[in-house]
Structure formats: C-alpha cells, structure tokens
C-alpha cells in the first residue's frame, strides 16, 4: 500500500481502539474515582494491564493466526481500557493532591515531565524492541530487536512493577488538600506552641 493508504489504515485501527477502550476507560474513571478511590483504580489498572499483556505475550503465536485477530484486538483494547481506568488517569490526579502546598506545582510538574519522558521512551523503545531478531525480517532502517512477544513480556513486567510501586501511594479520596499535606497539624502545633509560650500578666 502507498503511504496515504497506510496512514488511513493505521488511523482507522487506532480510532477503533480509542473508541472501544481508551474513551470508556476515562468515563469509568470519572464516574467511580470518588467512590472506589484513586489507590484502588490505579492498583486495579496496573494489575489488569499486567494480566492482559502476559495473556497477549505468552501465547503470542496463537494471536498471530488470522482466525484469532479479533480476539487479539479485544485483548489489546482491554489493556487500553484499564490503562485509562487506571494509571493514565490517576497519575495526573494523585500528584495534584498529595504533594505539600509549598511544593505542589513544582512536584506536579516533575511528575508530569517524568510521565511524558516515559511515554516517549515507551513509544520509541517499543518500535525498536519489537523488531524481529532476524535481520532479514526487520522493517527498513531498523536494527534487529527482541521481537513482539518479548517486548510484550517486558511491558507486562513494567506494569507489574507499577502495581508494586502503587502500594507506596497514599489514598487521597475524601480528604482535603490540607489534610493530605499535614498543614492542619502544623498549624495546630504552631498555635499550641504559641499559646504555651504566651505569658499572662497577673
């Protein structure tokens, strides 16, 4: 196919995945984030992304058969659904809530920059890593990689580590920004110290 037709085919496939997986994932997050909490959504998202990545990777040859392509698309869309009903949403909600007010903007900026850097590494890294181990079967201009199957296994492992690191994230559901940052405690302790040091003339 020519370049224009290839862009059309790829865009159509990505749009289908977005409509079936990405967008509904965000809807579920908006509807449920204040009911089940940020921590639960992020942990669940990483868990199911890990499950679906390994389910795609381990029997990868099964999914390459023409009869199973629809199943592959469904599984792949589910990874996007739980990415957005999970860490894609919570990783920009949680930093805005849990950092202390004095550092919130700076730390949120650092978190956002780290997320964008990770997205670039993932996108370009997967493009190179997913190339065939056989130099004769790689796309033009790309060096041999580790193959799609091994690349999906690597992504599954990264999702698993994301799930483990989520255990370190505090739950911010139903708490004010002052409670999360401990500012109320600091203010009350400062007030108590001031009262204790104040002398009352007799």
What pLDDT, on the 0 to 100 scale, is given for residue 190? 53
What pLDDT, on the 0 to 100 scale, is given for residue 191? 54
Q: DSSP assignment, residue 66?
A: G
What pLDDT, on the 0 to 100 scale, is given for residue 183? 63
Q: Is the pLDDT of residue 200 over 70?
A: no
Show the tokens assigned to 161.
Answer: 């580590």
52 touches 108 (CB < 8 A): no
Residues contacting 91, CB < 8 A, separation 6+: 42, 111, 115
107 touches 120 (CB < 8 A): no
pLDDT digits (tens, 9 = 90+) for 68-112: 988 888 888 899 999 999 998 888 888 888 888 788 889 888 988
Angle between helices 69-84 and 23-36 (to 10 degrees): 40
61 touches 73 (CB < 8 A): no
**Overall average pLDDT of the 161-182 stretch:** 81
> pTM for this structure?
0.79
**Overall average pLDDT of the 147-164 stretch:** 93
Instruction: Burial-class residue 11 by CB neighbours within 10 Å (0-12, 13-18, 19+).
Output: exposed
Show the tokens assigned to 47.
Answer: 């868990």
**Overall average pLDDT of the 45-74 stretch:** 91
Show the tokens assigned to 139.
Answer: 């796309």
Q: Is the pLDDT of residue 189 over 60?
A: no
Q: Is the pLDDT of residue 195 over 60?
A: no
| Backbone region of residue 140 per phi and psi (left: phi > 0; alpha: psi in -120 to 50; beta: other values) | beta
pLDDT digits (tens, 9 = 90+) for 28-49: 999 999 899 999 999 999 999 9
108 or 194, greater pLDDT:
108
Q: Is the pLDDT of residue 192 over 60?
A: no
């Amino acid at each position: 196919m020519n370049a224009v037709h290839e862009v059309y085919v790829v865009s159509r496939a990505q749009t289908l995945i977005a409509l079936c997986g990405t967008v509904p994932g965000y809807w579920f997050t908006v509807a449920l984030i204040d009911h089940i909490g940020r921590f639960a959504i992020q942990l669940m998202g990483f868990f199911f992304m890990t499950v679906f990545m390994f389910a795609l990777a381990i029997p990868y040859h099964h999914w390459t058969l023409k009869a199973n392509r629809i199943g592959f698309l469904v599984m792949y869309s589910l990874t996007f659904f739980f990415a957005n009903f999970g860490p894609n949403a919570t990783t920009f909600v949680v930093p805005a809530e849990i950092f202390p007010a004095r550092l919130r903007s700076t730390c949120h900026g650092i978190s956002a920059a780290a997320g964008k850097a990770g997205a670039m590494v993932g996108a370009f890294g997967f493009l190179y890593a997913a190339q065939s181990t056989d130099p004769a079967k790689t796309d033009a201009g790309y060096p041999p990689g580790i193959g799609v199957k091994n690349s999906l296994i690597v992504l599954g492992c990264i999702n698993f580590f994301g799930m483990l690191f989520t255990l370190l994230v505090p739950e911010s559901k139903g708490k004010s920004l002052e409670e999360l940052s401990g500012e109320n405690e600091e203010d009350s302790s400062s007030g108590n110290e001031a009262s204790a040091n104040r002398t009352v003339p007799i």
